[in-house]
């Protein structure tokens, strides 16, 4: 039995597996409950609970710090707050938080009604739905085209298997229709008589698009499309003009799109173009012409068009470019928009169907920022809703007047406890990595910070996900204590385009880890901090990054936070029964079939490369119901670290026993977890 006065020591139960003539030992594989996804094994639960008890024991003296940080974090949130209403059809819609509420309420009122509250209608009350639940998350929600019905889905345990319900907005009553196990959007079709959705199969994969007729048993739901490739996922959306149901199947490098008339969802689907390995595309329609965003001729994507009756005949509208990374487009009745990045900086342009040479970029006020289109639900719009922020500028909601070409500020994020942007400065540094590649780094700090003070370095570097230089009220708790806060825009994300992403995946995966280490070393060399005074953090694939860099360069870091870290990479990629594995092979490689992939993953997988050396202080988190990074990955990693490491530094594991990949739900409960992580960092850096 583990004693809460000593760190838990997991039993070693020797197991091994062999592939390609190579045998790998795994003494802690038993921490995977054999009944997963149900976790009921008493020995497994006992070990996780012992780790949680050790976490509580070690953090108990930091209770006052946690509480102080939590109050700071909460004090920067405007508790009674609401979004800017947006018109969609006959109504204006908005969301609202009440004072002290963990969850929000969804409201609407008829266009033109008086704004005294008398015409306001509460259409969904998350507070009521979450009452009595340890975990609550609203998934998809969608109002019918006639405004009379609301489809929504909720998850109450973090497993990301949502139950969809339909509410009559006229009476407030729930219809008897109930669809459990969804993992998708909810799309109204056929004159609001049907809903299109996707079920998560037993392996938590969406391999289908299904049609539910209102009032019919779910047993009679119709499968509109089924995907046979285990690596592909299926998703559905509605075209901007609401004429088409768009059904997409894709993995991390290939996609295929079908269009079905929204008025006749049982009609034969129109295949835009058969899948071709490595070609990703998405499509929209206007006036019988398809608009296709694709990477078939350039890795940074082009925009093409094709006649609806010859959907595979693509003609370039906007060429692909090394300088401009075309990340997406949106069609409206009178114009269309494109979004992308130039030199890593967000760009939005207005373009016109009848005048291809007319290009109107939207200009923003700062040299470094994050901006994008926001909620623009209508086909005919002359004002576009935009979101904007920077590392020193709080989140701002704009309307962009398309005719007058000007930005109107609608709302700026309020920070009740106070915030003075003049106290801070931000800069974008360039670091030359060991192979000569220049890696950008975004940094924010107080102007009065000591040059060699503590520094927090954040990274992700996977799946082509860019980490924008946006605003965070939470990070102020570190910055106001003398930290510089840096984001390393490492390869593996698509911060600098698709080539940047490709340079950090598959056989080039280790570039991601090397970039992060090289950024840390450069920040020391440039006098921004000192070795051992750097705290680092990352979650999920960013947690894999944490595991890799503490194996390779532990002496650089004074504190590490690894949230739901993907650290057991080899074993996970070898287990095709796990929810994500087949779909992940294009990202990491398939070690089952490819010996080179096996050897490469084995060479960097954090769990497989724990050695007898000193490690920095570490706080690791897990979610018992997490379907993305299963709880046993961090549990096994911590167990092996406890066995192997040669230092006396702190090693803590906290498992959320009633949550999933994102930790606790609710806007304040999640802040408490952030407060614990910051308290750990301050403790370990002696601050």
Q: Which residues are catalytic?
A: 540, 626, 661
Kind and range of the H or E element at 472?
A: none
Dist. CA 683–CA 686, nearest whole Å: 5
Q: CB atoms < 10 A from the CB of 143, how many?
A: 24
Residues present in the chain in total: 687
Dist. CA 185–CA 237, nearest whole Å: 7
Q: CB atoms < 10 A from the CB of 287, how many?
A: 9
How far is residue 331 CA from its own chain's centroid?
25
| Phi and psi torsions of 183, nearest 5° | -150, 75
DSSP conformational letter for 591: T
| Phi and psi torsions of 55, nearest 5° | -55, -50
Note whether 207 and 235 are within 8 A (CB): no
Dist. CA 9–CA 651, nearest whole Å: 12
Closest residue by Cα to residue 598 from 21, 167, 59, 10: 21
Note whether 283 and 267 are within 8 A (CB): no
What are the distances in angstroms from CA 601 to CA 517, 541, 596, 635? 19, 14, 9, 20
Closest residue by Cα to residue 85 from 67, 65, 110: 110
Dist. CA 192–CA 145, nearest whole Å: 7
Spatial neighbors of 298 by CB under 8 A, at least 6 apart, are: 319, 320, 321
């Amino acid at each position: 039995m583990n004693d809460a006065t000593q760190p838990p020591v997991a039993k070693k139960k020797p197991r091994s597996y062999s592939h390609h003539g190579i045998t790998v030992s795994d003494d802690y594989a038993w921490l995977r409950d054999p009944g997963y996804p149900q976790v009921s094994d008493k020995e497994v639960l006992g070990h996780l609970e012992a780790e949680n008890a050790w976490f509580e024991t070690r953090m108990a003296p930091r209770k006052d710090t946690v509480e102080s940080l939590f109050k700071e974090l909460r004090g920067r949130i405007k508790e009674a707050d609401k979004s800017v209403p947006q018109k969609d059809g006959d109504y204006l819609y908005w969301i609202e938080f009440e004072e002290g509420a963990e969850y929000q309420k969804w409201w609407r009122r008829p266009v033109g009604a008086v704004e005294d509250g008398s015409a306001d209608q509460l259409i969904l009350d998350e507070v009521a739905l979450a009452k009595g639940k340890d975990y609550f998350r609203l998934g998809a929600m969608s109002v019918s085209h006639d405004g009379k019905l609301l489809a929504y889905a909720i998850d109450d345990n973090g497993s990301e298997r949502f139950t969809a319900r339909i509410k009559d907005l006229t009476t407030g009553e729930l219809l008897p229709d109930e669809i459990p196990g969804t993992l998708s959007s909810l799309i109204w079709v056929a004159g609001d008589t049907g809903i299109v959705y996707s079920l998560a199969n037993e392996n938590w994969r969406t391999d289908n698009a299904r049609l539910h007729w209102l009032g019919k048993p779910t047993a009679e739901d119709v499968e509109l499309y089924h995907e046979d490739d285990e690596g592909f996922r299926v998703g559905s959306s509605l075209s901007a003009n609401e004429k088409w149901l768009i059904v997409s199947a894709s993995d991390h490098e290939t996609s295929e799109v079908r269009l079905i008339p929204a008025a006749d969802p049982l009609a034969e689907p129109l295949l835009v173009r058969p899948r071709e390995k490595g070609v990703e595309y998405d499509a929209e329609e206007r006036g019988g012409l398809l608009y296709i965003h694709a990477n078939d001729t350039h890795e940074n994507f082009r925009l093409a068009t094709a006649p609806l009756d010859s959907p595979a005949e693509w003609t370039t509208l906007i060429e692909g470019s090394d300088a401009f990374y075309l990340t997406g487009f949106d069609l409206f009745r009178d114009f269309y928009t494109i979004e992308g990045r130039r030199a890593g900086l967000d760009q939005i342009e207005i373009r016109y169907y009848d005048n291809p040479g007319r290009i109107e970029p939207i200009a923003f006020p700062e040299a470094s920022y994050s901006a994008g289109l926001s909620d623009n639900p209508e086909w005919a719009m002359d004002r576009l809703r935009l979101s904007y922020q920077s590392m020193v500028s709080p989140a701002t909601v704009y309307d962009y007047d398309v005719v007058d070409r000007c930005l109107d500020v609608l709302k700026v994020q309020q920070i009740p406890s106070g915030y003075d942007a003049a106290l801070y400065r931000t800069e974008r540094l360039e670091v030359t990595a060991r192979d000569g590649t220049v890696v950008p780094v975004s940094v924010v700090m107080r102007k009065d910070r000591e040059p060699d003070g503590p520094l927090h370095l954040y990274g992700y570097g996977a799946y082509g996900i860019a980490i924008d230089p946006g605003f965070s009220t939470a990070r102020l708790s570190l910055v106001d204590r003398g930290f510089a806060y840096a984001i390393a825009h490492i390869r593996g994300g698509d911060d600098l385009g698709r080539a940047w992403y490709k340079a950090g995946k598959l056989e080039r995966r280790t570039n991601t880890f090397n970039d992060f280490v090289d950024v840390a070393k450069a920040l020391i060399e440039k006098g921004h901090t000192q070795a051992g005074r750097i705290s680092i953090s990352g979650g999920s694939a960013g947690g894999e990054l944490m595991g890799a860099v503490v194996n390779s360069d532990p002496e650089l870091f004074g504190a590490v936070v690894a949230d739901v870290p993907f650290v057991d990479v080899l074993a996970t990629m070898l287990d095709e029964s796990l929810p994500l594995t087949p779909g992940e092979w294009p990202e990491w490689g398939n070690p089952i079939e490819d010996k080179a992939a096996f050897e490469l993953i084995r060479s960097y997988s954090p769990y497989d490369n724990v050695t007898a050396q000193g490690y920095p202080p570490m706080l690791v988190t897990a979610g018992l119901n997490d379907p993305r990074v299963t709880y046993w990955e961090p549990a096994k990693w911590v167990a092996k670290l406890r066995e192997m490491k040669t230092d006396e530094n702190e090693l803590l594991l906290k498992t959320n026993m009633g949550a999933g990949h994102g930790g606790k739900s609710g806007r304040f409960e999640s802040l408490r977890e952030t407060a614990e992580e910051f308290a750990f960092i301050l403790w370990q850096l002696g601050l």
